[in-house]
Structure 1
Amino acid sequence: MRKLALTLVTTLALFAQAGCASDTPEAVPDAGGGKADGYQPLEPEDNQDEIDREIVEQLQENHYNKVTLDDDFSEKFFNAYIDELDGTRGVFLESDIERLRDKYEHALDDELKEGETRAAFDIYNTYQKRRIQIDQWALARIKQGIDSFNITDDESFDVDREEAPWPEDAAARRALWTQQIENQIINLKLDDLDDAEIQKRLTQRYSNELKQLRQAEPVDAFSAYMDAYTHSYDPHTDYFSPRRSEDFNIDMNLQLQGIGAELRSKNGYAELVRLIPGGPAAKSGKLKPTDRITAVAQGEDGEFVDVVGMRLDETVQLIRGEKGSTVRLQVSPADNSQTKTVTLERDKIELKDQAARKQIIELERDGETVKVGLIALPSFYNGTAEDVKKLLRELKQADVAGVVLDLRNNGGGALGEAMKLTGLFMKSAPAVQIRDAEGETQVLGDRNSGPFYDGPLAVMVNRLSASASEIVAGALQDYGRALVLGTRTFGKGTVQTLLPLSEGQIKLTQAKFYRVTGESTQDRGVTPDISFPATVDPEKIGESALPNALPWDRIEPTVYPKSNQLKGMIDTLERQHEARVADAADYQYRVNRIELAREQSQRTEVSLNLAERRAEQEAIKQRSLELANAQREAKGKPPFENYEAFEESEEGESPQEQELRAQNAGSEDEIDAYQIESAQILLDMVENFAAEAEDQDAA
């Protein structure tokens, strides 16, 4: 009996040890990567299994997209987590991926159901150890001196590694990172930094990354894992740990303090996601979404601190500051063009900075001056409809021939205001349908006795027009009430809600927007009646560029009045537009600048030869100068003497920078080429309607 009891105790002890071991992340092999000083494998915290189950339950019950947790989803989730950690495929080794894939690719669905987090920590610890190994090696390599790197040979570097193979072994990874450092050295040399400053910057950069890795906590691994899980449903569903939840609430309430920009961490960079209308960043016209901040300096002459590899919250603290103080940012554009320095004065953004504003465009038509009203609306804030109504009243008093409503770069906002705004232009009618996860549909619109403005109307949109902007543009287009001009919109047709967890909170997609036609604005956005060349690459920005975006679909249309009179005129208006812009110097200059920038952004490889890169940079500068001088010649202006003179002028701004600056300024000299052409098209429409009316009268 005693022997049996001892056997039973021993068995239970072994079982308990086995159970413990199954919850403990496995040791990460060195794999020839060398030492990893400061590496401490992370282990799950006691409450994370409970939070895991809560998140799974919330998504399964409340998310719009009803996902089945099976092997197919597990594979998708596994790939998303690997990409979340190593999106440029330069940290993990091929053997790491094979080992982790074999163990977890079809097991994550079961771990989610059971609230287990072994995979989260096994995969994260592998990443952490490998990154410490390569960063330590990089620091030691940089310490040998910048002149020890070869930037005179004919090698090239693949800057687009999202689909590249992982390094075969540690030696192959060192070769890859040697190329990466050489590319970074060339970029800094092109910014006219000397070797000592370059060595200092790169040392700071990799030291930042090592510091972040060595300070990693269990919540970092868990958050990265849950980010990959939630983003496997759709890109707008997020888990916020208590720390990130606090930051999110601060952003929601205090985002109007500082430079007015929303950032995210991507592949070690602080990347701009959105510019707050009326903020210093937007007003400058020098920044745009997908730009990456590489260094930050305080005041007019403070020393730059490299922020690549720095924690995002630490980078944000460097950028934030007192109202009226100056911050300087070094920015690497997404199109791989030359790094630039942007100086901003920090400010608190007031409601008036985001408010609608009007201007009057004066055009010559048949020897007469004709006025067209322009209303720029950067966002939908409380009071939007009343502000626009006041501006419309003033424009009617100025006897304008029509109104252009500029919704470019408008990322949305208050849905109720969007409904009221739509009601200013047409009789009481439905404007949008919203379907929830249960399939229930709600129809929203504005109840009124008639439109406040019933004259000719055009709506301008671009790729950064999203959410409420798309609803307004889509409704006015569907009713045949307005011409929609510009580029295809963002395509965000989903509705998110915040739900509390025992610790932190979750933001999940609960519903979808649909037009009165039954077509979703999701993924496809709103297609303009007449298109202008896009200032941003739709392959890189927009809902369709985001992984796991919910698909476009349609539901039953609602009953709505519709006029086809405008639709029948589109072909004629487009022919008139094409004939006019063929000789429009400002418009063609804008188109040519867009094509030049697109060429640069689509490059997947760069030379690792400094002389060749300098020659390429000078060639781009020369082409930019030639385009600017061709525009000035066509307008009877003297040419720029050199590139420096061009760069200091407004012509030196990119088309999107000009667009942002125009929408954030109030003077008529800020009206851009697309706004002028939109006014011209609107007048074409007025004249065509008048001609049709005369023909009908004659008949």
Structure 2
Amino acid sequence: MRQRLFQLPLLFVIALTMATAALAAPHPVPLSELFPNPGQTRAAIVINKVLERYHYRKVSLDRSFAQSVLERYLKALDPNRTFFLARDVDRFQNGSRNLDESLRRGELDIAFDIFRVYRMRVDERVAHALKLLDGKFDFNVAETFVFESPETGWAAESAELDERWRKRVKNDFLSLRLADKPDEEIRDRLRKRYEGLARRIHQFKGGDVFQAFMNAYTETLEPHTSYMSPSTSENFDISMKLSLEGIGAVLRSDNEYTVVQSTVPGGPARDSGQVHAGDQIVGVAQGLDGAMEDVVGWRLEDVVDKIRGPKGSVVRLQLLPKTSGSARHAREVSLVRNEIKLEDQAAKSDLVEDLTNGPGIRIGVIEIPAFYRDFDAEGAGAVDFRSTTRDVRRLINDLVMRGVDGILIDLRGNGGGSLAEATSLTGLFIDTGPVVQVKDAFGKIELEADTDPGVAYTGPLAVLVDRESASASEIFAAAIQDYGRGLVIGEPTFGKGTVQTLIDLNRYVPGGQSDLGRLRLTMAEFFRISGGSTQLRGVEPDIRFPSAEYMTEHGERSLDNALPWTRIDPANFKKAGEMRFDALARLSADRVAGDQGFKMLTERSRLVREVEEQKRVSLRERDRRAEDDLRNRRFKEDQDHFLRSRGIAPVDEDAEQVDEDALDAQRKVIARIEVEEAARILADGLQMQRGNSPRAVMRD
């Protein structure tokens, strides 16, 4: 069975967690069990054949590609080069000269050999780290700690690794010290962290090793193709259900941290307003008073198991915000696990009125968090099943009845969803015609088109997007732009222009009784009707907001081995009009230049990029404190200045008692900054028409 996916990459496992029974504590796995078995050999052979035949990017399993797989596997295990020695790597490379031939035959000895050595090296390094904790650190010395860097070579001797670990442990210690933790608590916490690292590595089973190596193989090819073991497949199935219990956050592993990839509309994480994409989860606790467990260095599956729980129960997360340079600004967030239903992700509408540049002009705003469709209800024959298009049509009619002069579609943070809904939603604003082209691995091109005659809305239209608008959002925004039907405003979008399918590997082994897992395979690419792909570049707005200046390496652009941007012949379509936006862009730029809200948002984007590009930090305490104080002050001062300009008293989020209602109101005001400017741009356009255009009308 295959299932087409049109969403953001799920990046290994999802924390849209269902309630599950408590798991038995795993036991250490003997080294004697860390050898490949016949089922894994069969799976490796099948994976290679499927990739060679069906992957969109043609696989050339030669010696060069195989060496890249080896390098990625080593990087996955040891990204900071703090475990393996140079002689280990030399031996691995010498033993893998014929890795391409071995992979074709499903021979996996080298992968398991590397992992057994890795486990031994982890034990050595953890023992050394624990000894370092018993000593003292001088935080007055001017020295730096270097994060993962391509220039960092493999250590030639153990003494060189000792020095890297001295700085690593010192940095870990200082980060907690900056969070005002007492030294004894820090030692206890780090001791548990390092011991936990070794314990979890000892719990890796043969299937875990196989999955890690196979994903090094697939990621060498392209970032959205991945192997899912039977247990990971089960988690994936949970994530695709329409009703889920959990916190509603998509998680990924980044080095030793668990990172929030995105939050789900209607979920506790999104609704709290305190969990954001890019935040690092450094601790998890159960209930209102359970002990906080440090989860730095944990496997992603283990962190997810801690976050899982029954509906109505409380989980507390300790988060390190993306804009923070150290753990000093870690915050604790309490979330009540809840059921995430389809209606919680539904589109909703609002009005923007009293625009200074267009007195009397009213702009309707329709926020679409996801492209949803209740396939279960539809399959059961329900006539009134829920869908994005149906909900938006109803909202349009309501807004037109309220006399709006234009409509703004807000797709910020919308990571995608149903392709059928992206197509039919476009059809509300155009007559009939193509919406997107889909090219498969064999070069065949299919058109997804709106075939429903008629238009639901003919008035002025704009689409607001940001760096998290992806996949189906990009298809809709690109179609509106290509048809000249409306303006696209905001930031360049994510750039997710590929199509994945789920392949059950068991179907390729007739009579096989073992479960070989599944392959999430990139098998097609989206192309705009104008011919260019949405892949990598995303959708470039007609009018850019200034925060876009600081996002050059965001989204698909930041992923290794991402498919390149390309183009095919344009589809046959008739433009609805020509959009002239130069004058509108100038008016907006003049307005935004003096706007405190945009100054704050732009500074936030700059701070995020600054943190992302930071490769080293000081290990001298006074320098580190000064750096963190400056960054935090810059962040707060701009936000407080903006809020006061709106007559709002800023809420101290770090206070012991926080007014949650005031904090929620503050967040909503910040979220409206871009919406209000996009509405002003629409109002400018209406003013330029000198009132010659009639108000919007409803259409069947």
TM-score, normalised to structure 2's length? 0.86
Contact 1:40 1:214 in 2 (8 A): no
Map of 2:672 onto structure 1: 672
1:170 aligns with 2:163: no
Contact 2:485 2:577 in 1 (8 A): no
Map of 1:431 onto structure 2: 435
Equivalent of 1:630 in 641, 664, 668:
641
Map of 1:666 onto structure 2: none
Map of 1:11 onto structure 2: none
1:350 aligns with 2:363: no
1:473 to partner: Cα distance: 0.3
Closer, same or farther in 2 for the Cα pair 1:119/1:255, shift >3 Å?
A: farther
| Secondary structure of the structure 1 residue equivalent to 2:116 | helix
State how far apart, in whole Å, the 2-side matches of 1:289 and 1:671 are.
15
Q: CA-to-partner distance for each residue in 1:82-135, whole Å, 9 max, x for gaps?
A: 22212222222222222222332x422111112211221122222222122111
Contact 2:435 2:475 in 1 (8 A): yes
1:541 aligns with 2:532: no
1:508 to partner: Cα distance: 0.4
1:65 aligns with 2:57: yes
User: Which stretch shifts more, 515-524 or 75-84?
Assistant: 75-84
User: Which stretch shifts more, 296-305 or 629-638?
Assistant: 629-638
Amino acid in structure 2 at the alignment position of 1:62: Y
1:591 to partner: Cα distance: 2.0
Map of 1:16 onto structure 2: none
Contact 1:296 1:304 in 2 (8 A): yes
Closer, same or farther in 2 for the Cα pair 1:527/1:358, shift >3 Å?
A: same
Map of 2:593 onto structure 1: 582
1:490 to partner: Cα distance: 0.9
1:570 to partner: Cα distance: 1.7
Structure 2: segments with no counterpart, 5+ residues: 1-27, 374-386, 507-515, 695-700
Alignment of 1:214-225 (within 5 A): 214-225=202-213
| Secondary structure of the structure 1 residue equivalent to 2:565 | coil
| Secondary structure of the structure 2 residue equivalent to 1:310 | coil
| Secondary structure of the structure 2 residue equivalent to 1:363 | coil
| Secondary structure of the structure 2 residue equivalent to 1:672 | helix
1:156 aligns with 2:169: no
Closer, same or farther in 2 for the Cα pair 1:647/1:616, shift >3 Å?
A: farther
Q: CA-to-partner distance for each residue in 1:649-682, whole Å, 9 max, x for gaps?
A: 89999xxx999x64xxxxxx57511111010111
Paired-residue identity, %: 40
Equivalent of 1:84 in 59, 69, 76:
76
Q: CA-to-partner distance for each residue in 1:544-596, whole Å, 9 max, x for gaps?
A: 21111111111111111125531xx2211110001111222222222233333
Contact 2:370 2:417 in 1 (8 A): yes
State how far apart, in whole Å, the 2-side matches of 1:37 and 1:170 are.
26
| Secondary structure of the structure 1 residue equivalent to 2:353 | strand
Map of 1:132 onto structure 2: 123
Map of 1:386 onto structure 2: 390
Amino acid in structure 2 at the alignment position of 1:505: R
Equivalent of 2:566 in 548, 553, 558:
553
State how far apart, in whole Å, the 2-side matches of 1:38 and 1:155 are.
40
Equivalent of 2:35 in 43, 49, 60:
43
1:172 to partner: Cα distance: 1.0
Closer, same or farther in 2 for the Cα pair 1:690/1:99, shift >3 Å?
A: farther
User: Which stretch shifts more, 365-374 or 127-136?
Assistant: 365-374
1:384 to partner: Cα distance: 0.7
1:54 aligns with 2:46: yes
Q: CA-to-partner distance for each residue in 1:328-372, whole Å, 9 max, x for gaps?
A: 111123444322222212111111210001111113346733211
Q: CA-to-partner distance for each residue in 1:34-63, whole Å, 9 max, x for gaps?
A: xx9986682111222111101111111111
Equivalent of 1:310 in 274, 288, 298:
298
State how far apart, in whole Å, the 2-side matches of 1:81 and 1:638 are.
51
Closer, same or farther in 2 for the Cα pair 1:41/1:166, shift >3 Å?
A: farther
Higher RCO, 1 vs 2 (CA within 8 Å, ≥6 residues apart):
2
State how far apart, in whole Å, the 2-side matches of 1:74 and 1:339 are.
41
| Secondary structure of the structure 2 residue equivalent to 1:253 | coil
Amino acid in structure 2 at the alignment position of 1:452: A
Amino acid in structure 1 at the alignment position of 2:582: D
Map of 2:419 onto structure 1: 415
1:505 aligns with 2:509: no
Equivalent of 1:447 in 434, 439, 451:
451
Amino acid in structure 2 at the alignment position of 1:415: L
Alignment of 1:94-493 (within 5 A): 94-104=86-96, 106-142=97-133, 144=134, 148-253=136-241, 256-337=244-325, 338-365=329-356, 368-382=359-373, 383-493=387-497
Closer, same or farther in 2 for the Cα pair 1:649/1:470, shift >3 Å?
A: farther
TM-score, normalised to structure 1's length? 0.86
Instruction: Give the number of the structure whose residues are more often helix, by fraction.
Output: 1
Map of 1:22 onto structure 2: none
| Secondary structure of the structure 2 residue equivalent to 1:272 | strand
Closer, same or farther in 2 for the Cα pair 1:676/1:63, shift >3 Å?
A: same
Closer, same or farther in 2 for the Cα pair 1:87/1:410, shift >3 Å?
A: same
State how far apart, in whole Å, the 2-side matches of 1:536 and 1:399 are.
36
Amino acid in structure 2 at the alignment position of 1:541: H
State how far apart, in whole Å, the 1-side matches of 2:309 and 2:693 are.
60
State how far apart, in whole Å, the 2-side matches of 1:543 and 1:685 are.
33
State how far apart, in whole Å, the 1-side matches of 2:313 and 2:693 are.
59
Amino acid in structure 2 at the alignment position of 1:98: D
State how far apart, in whole Å, the 1-side matches of 2:323 and 2:642 are.
23
Amino acid in structure 1 at the alignment position of 2:436: V
1:638 to partner: Cα distance: 6.7
Closer, same or farther in 2 for the Cα pair 1:671/1:335, shift >3 Å?
A: closer
Closer, same or farther in 2 for the Cα pair 1:177/1:51, shift >3 Å?
A: same
Structure 1: segments with no counterpart, 5+ residues: 1-35, 663-668, 695-699
User: CA RMSD, aligned part only?
Assistant: 2.8
Contact 1:88 1:162 in 2 (8 A): no
Contact 1:493 1:521 in 2 (8 A): yes
Contact 1:77 1:108 in 2 (8 A): no
Closer, same or farther in 2 for the Cα pair 1:166/1:540, shift >3 Å?
A: farther
State how far apart, in whole Å, the 1-side matches of 2:662 and 2:143 are.
32
Map of 1:4 onto structure 2: none
